Amino acid sequence: MSGSRLEREVLPGGTVMNTVHGDEPGPTLALLGGVHGDEDEGVLAVWRILQELETTALRGTVRAVAPANPAAWAARSRTTPYDDGDLARSFPGDRDGQPTETLADGITDRTIQGADLLIDLHSAGLRYSMPLFCGVARDQEDALRAAVAFGAPMIWLHESWPPGRSLTAAMECGVPAIYAECGGGGGVRLDHLDAYVTGVLSVMAQLGMLTESPRVRPSPRWVAGSGDLDAGVRSSYSGLFVVSATAGEVVPEDGEVGRLYGYRGELLEVLRAARSGVVMFLRRQAQVRPGDVLFVMAVRSEGP
């Protein structure tokens, strides 16, 4: 590993952390992929990054966990089969709690705690669609610099993190954090995968962990919003959701995003944007039940 060495450790809850120690001292990067078991992009990106580091001079340490929830990933499920827990809502976890809480506690304690930056690679999963973007808290200067260095075409600014997220645990540990989202639908797009790999490597270069210079990226589009996907527009009916918009599209105020049809073809509701904004999270799977999230919007922003 070009002077680097790799260690593997089984964390509480059963996931494996790969730790790459560089041949020179430097920052520590915490890297997660597959927090949701139906999101393959981040898992594959982490594996590719570890391969890149086999032949790259590294300063500092990379702690990589992918898949973060191995049981959910094996089942292609967003939640843990043992307790139906959502790892992305379970941080910082509980060592003596349910299996998902134990998993979150191990990742918080061994991977996130003491790092200089957390990057959590997500995607839209099987049921949803999202544009390629990087998310960051508006008030974290180090994280903002990392988000720009990541190089995604869009950056989503948040005022705070909702409870239970890995980024919330990082904030409580004093660790700056960013996350990325893309595609979804069960397939992996090569351009999105490459963007994740080069994005993480660019952040590492910006941190001084790699000898190469940070990559020059075009200026991103900036959007703002809560980022809490659980607070999106929900279905009031059982039926079929038919989309009118696409993920990443700018929709005007009162613009149509989708329609809900009953199982006999009757139109139940036309879903419209409450205000002008960008579609950030869009239901891909047509069959819905009451309470299912259909879409989430963000507003356009001038930046931090």
CATH code for the domain in which residue 154 is found? 3.40.630.10
Considering the domain architecture, whether residues 55 and 157 belong to the same structural domain is answered as yes
Average pLDDT of the residues of the chain: 94
The predicted-structure confidence for 167-220, as pLDDT tens digits, reads as follows 999 999 999 999 999 998 888 999 999 999 999 999 999 999 998 776 667 789
Total-model pTM = 0.95
pLDDT band at 1 (very low <50, low <70, confident <90, very high): very low
pLDDT band at 33 (very low <50, low <70, confident <90, very high): very high
Considering the domain architecture, whether residues 165 and 267 belong to the same structural domain is answered as no
The predicted-structure confidence for 231-258, as pLDDT tens digits, reads as follows 899 999 999 999 999 999 999 999 999 9
More confident residue, 54 or 17: 17
SS3 40: helix
Total domains, the chain = 2
Considering the domain architecture, whether residues 151 and 260 belong to the same structural domain is answered as no
Domain boundary among 203, 224, 245: 224
Domain boundary among 224, 240, 259: 224
> Dihedrals φ, ψ of 73, to 5°?
-65, -40
**What's the domain range around 256?**
232-301
pLDDT value, residue 214: 62
pLDDT band at 74 (very low <50, low <70, confident <90, very high): very high
Considering the domain architecture, whether residues 98 and 145 belong to the same structural domain is answered as yes
**DSSP codes joined into one string, 192-231:** HHHHHHHHHHHHHHHTTSBSSPPPP-PPPEEEES---GGG
Considering the domain architecture, whether residues 19 and 58 belong to the same structural domain is answered as yes
Across the range 118-124, mean pLDDT stands at: 97
Considering the domain architecture, whether residues 160 and 238 belong to the same structural domain is answered as no
Domain boundary among 224, 256, 278: 224
